[in-house]
Amino acid sequence: MPDLTRTAAHLDAGAATAEELMTCNPVSILASATVEEAIAFLTDSGYSAAPVIDEAGRPVGVISRTDVVVYDRARVAASADVSEEAAGAGVPAPAVETSRLPGRAAPVRVADLMTPVVFSVPPNATAQEVGREMVRLNVHRLYVVDEDGVLVGVISALDLLRHLCDGA
């Protein structure tokens, strides 16, 4: 069994900062992108989540596969409700007004379904602070934001574990 005391001490003693742990310039998606673009982006990249940025490069949220699944579930439920409503009114299914479904009247944007919060740390946060923040927030990643509020990196739980293992 691993010596967890030694591992915890290493994290505490490790001089690594968020800037040293992070992956620089994380790929991100614009808040104005469509849901279809976000799905393609997450699928093609293999990422489970990505920061959402505004036109100035500042993070405004996070889009995750979970956000997409929740959106899709609501869309399917709305479709079923409309179909049941039409059936009860004696309207054939093809005549159902599909513009009432989410995403049908106008393209749904990433900003409409993202989680509108970005859990972040400054570049000078210590590895211990990063770990504590991940645990406190119950998240798998933290974004690194500079003093101007611009997204400069991302730290995953795996990055933190890599730091622990490399120094153990």
Tens of pLDDT, residue by residue over 111-135, are 999 999 999 999 999 999 999 999 9
Instruction: Please name which of 146, 163, 168, 155 lies closest in space to residue 15, comparing C-alpha atoms.
Output: 163
Report how far residue 121's alpha carbon sits from residue 16's, in angstroms, rounded to the nearest whole number: 14
pLDDT at position 83, please? 53
Q: How confident is the model at residue 94 (pLDDT cuts 50, 70, 90)?
A: very low
- Does residue 3 have a pLDDT over 60? no
Q: What percent of the chain has pLDDT over 90?
A: 55
Residue of 97 and 138 predicted with greater confidence? 138
pLDDT, one tens digit per residue, over 5-61 is 444 444 444 568 999 999 998 999 999 999 999 999 999 999 999 999 988 888 899
Instruction: Please name which of 149, 142, 148, 150 lies closest in space to residue 125, comparing C-alpha atoms.
Output: 142
Report how far residue 119's alpha carbon sits from residue 111's, in angstroms, rounded to the nearest whole number: 17
Q: Half-sphere exposure of 138 toward its Cβ, with a 13 Å CA cutoff?
A: 0
Q: Tell me: domain 4-167, CATH 3.10.580.10, correct? A: yes
What are residue 144's DSSP bridge partners? 121, 153
Residue of 35 and 93 predicted with greater confidence? 35
